[in-house]
A and B are shown apart, each in its own frame.
Chain A
Amino acid sequence: MSLFKKRNILPVRDSHIEANLANSKIYAKNIKKIYHSTKGDTLAMNNVNINVLENEFVCIVGPSGCGKSTLLRMVAGLDEISDGEIIIRDHAIIGPGADRGMVFQSYTLFPWMTVGDNIKFGLKLRKIPAKEQEEIVDKYLKVIKLEKFKNSYPKELSGGMKQRVAIARALANSPEVLLMDEPFSALDPQTKADMQLLMRQIWQVEKPTVLFVTHDIEEAVFLSSKIYVLTSRPGTVKKEVPVFLPYNRDLSLKDTENFINLRKEVNALIDHSSI
């Protein structure tokens, strides 16, 4: 409810129209980020333009330190934008909110709550009726295939399981967009591949709008429908690469010629000179 109120009091933006016409969920225009510190100012990113459409799965790749996390945090409302603007559907960002769910690289489950209560957290805040809360929790436990762990505490889960619960917790809140910052980078290769497949399946069924940051090009190609390649610092969009691959994907896709070619194409775009 409060979300609607917030939206109504926001000033009208010119960019609304432009964004709405394109059915845009995240519309970032001319984003600039400067970090101020005692050693001087750092221009982290400049002139970044990004457009994520409804139900799209968009990946951002780029060399380390190019500002991928910063961009995601700005969309989440956790970091100040130095210049430019980001519009979420039709409103400007004034801080973090439940409309932008996020999954972090580090494990962020609330350790004092069971898996079920973690997933329920956002629903409780929004005062959803108790019965409905239970239904939503059960639904997402099923989606992440952890029904048996509803009453477990996070410390009893493996890294992959923790990230699955984090995804369920974010999705259960039915956000406008789901932001993910290298959620699988701490996992072993096998678990990582399983998680990628699960993520793709979730997306095909639930159709969330996803903005996903990774430095793993294979992951980006496998998951997304569109990839933004950023340059090294100061980060800016080097190229927007559409991913023309089959809609229904499984891990065998990674061995096909089309996949490998696209992976190579994206890899060639990445600035490897920075290291």
Chain B
Amino acid sequence: MIKIKIRKKLSKKNYLLLAITAFVVLIAAWTIASVTGSIDAIFLPNPTKVLNYYVEAIKDGSLLENTSISLYRILLGFILAVILGIPVGILMGTFQKVEAVVRPLCEFIRYMPVPAFVPLIMVWVGIGENAKITVIFIGTFFQLVLMVADDALSVPDDLINAGYTLGTSTTQTIFKIIIPAMLPRLMETLRMMIGWAWTYLVSAELVAANSGLGYTILKSQRFLATDAIFGGIILIGILGLLTDRLFAFVNKKLFHWSESAH
């Protein structure tokens, strides 16, 4: 047994065990704090009340309805950002001419706080579905372009040169070398971006909606229904975690060849 602790490998079982313990401790602490009454129920609802809220919301169908409308918005906004952002990012990471045009613009816009765009977007596209999709789009697009460009730039020069010396043209180099080589990193980027999309979804629904999970949270605040607020926040967390795990799983299956895959 040698005594090295830094970056020591942990078995999969123990890893999972510790992860579950962390959740159990959190929920236990919450339960104790609320059941003993040391924190007022207005601030911290009893876990059973949150569970009750879920049961009620599932019964009257509002949970499913709000979740699906939120998922719909996220998917549409995200897919739009991905469809437009990936080609722009790849071109930017491949041709400096494109980078010179696009990078400064993106760097500038991405520092603008997305929630501040919400009123403007309402003026531009109204308060319909398009408004929420636009918020998610604006929130993710510029960041995505920059990150995809970095993914493209991360492809080693000599991999591209190897392609050239085997006879690839410029177009072939992009499609047969750069894109396949960057795919694992690109998918990791998408995995991160969908997390951001959830954040912007809530920004959008807090202000300009009358349905969706964000809206449910806001509405509950008016009635001081902390159980519903908790329920909404936790549900978003779970959905985020699920999408993240799904991405991680697909990436691992798809990119088994990747040198960095573990």
Contacts and interface: CB of A to CB of B under 8 A. Distances in A.
Ranked nearest first, the 3 interchain pairs of A and B with the lowest CB-CB distance are A98-B167, A96-B164, A108-B162
Given A76-B161, A108-B159, A111-B258, A173 B181 contact: no
Contacts of B158: 104, 106, 108
Interface of A: 76-78, 95-98, 100-102, 104, 106, 108, 110-113, 121-122, 125-126, 153-155, 166, 169-170, 173, 179
A100 B156 CA distance: 20
B180 A104 contact: no
| Most chain B CB within a 10 A radius of its CB, from A96, A98, A125, A169 | A96
Nearest to B159: A108
A224 B161 CA distance: 25
B182 to A, nearest CB: 11
Given A112-B255, A125-B166, 12 more contacts: A77-B164, A95-B164, A101-B165, A104-B158, A104-B162, A108-B158, A108-B161, A110-B159, A110-B180, A111-B259, A122-B166, A166-B162
| Most chain B CB within a 10 A radius of its CB, from A95, A104, A126, A179 | A104
Contacts of A179: 165
Contact of A121 (B156, B161, B166, B261): B166
| Most chain A CB within a 10 A radius of its CB, from B161, B162, B166, B172 | B166
Contacts of B256: 153
Interface in B54-91: none
Interface in B152-171: 156, 158-159, 161-162, 164-168
B191 to A, nearest CB: 19
B165 A98 contact: yes
Contacts of A106: 156, 158
B159 A97 contact: no
B177 interface: yes
B257 interface: yes
A173 B162 contact: no
B172 A112 contact: no
Contact of A78 (B164, B167, B168): B164
A100 B172 CA distance: 17
Contacts of A101: 165-166
A122 B168 CA distance: 8
Contacts of A155: 257-259, 261
| Most chain A CB within a 10 A radius of its CB, from B156, B167, B183, B258 | B167
Nearest to A122: B166
B177 A110 contact: yes
B180 A112 contact: yes
Contacts of A100: 165
A29 B237 CA distance: 67
Nearest to A107: B158
A101 B164 CA distance: 9
B166 A173 contact: yes
A11 to B, nearest CB: 22
A106 B162 CA distance: 10
Contacts of B180: 110, 112
A78 B159 CA distance: 12
B165 A110 contact: no
A125 B172 contact: yes
Given A108-B158, A153-B257, A122 B177 contact: no
Contacts of B261: 155
A169 B159 CA distance: 13
A166 B162 CA distance: 9
Nearest to A2: B167
7 contacts: A96-B161, A97-B167, A110-B177, A112-B255, A126-B167, A155-B258, A170-B165
A110 B161 contact: no
A110 B181 contact: yes
Contacts of A173: 166-167
A104 B161 contact: yes
A122 B159 contact: no
A170 B183 CA distance: 25
Contacts of B159: 108, 110
Contacts of B259: 111, 154-155
Contacts of B181: 110-112
A110 B259 CA distance: 11
Given A111-B259, A155-B259, A76 B167 contact: no
A101 B162 CA distance: 8
Interface in B162-200: 162, 164-168, 172, 176-177, 180-181, 183
Contacts of B255: 112
A78 B162 CA distance: 10
| Most chain B CB within a 10 A radius of its CB, from A97, A98, A112 | A112
B167 A102 contact: no
Contacts of B161: 76, 78, 96, 102, 104, 108
A170 B163 CA distance: 10
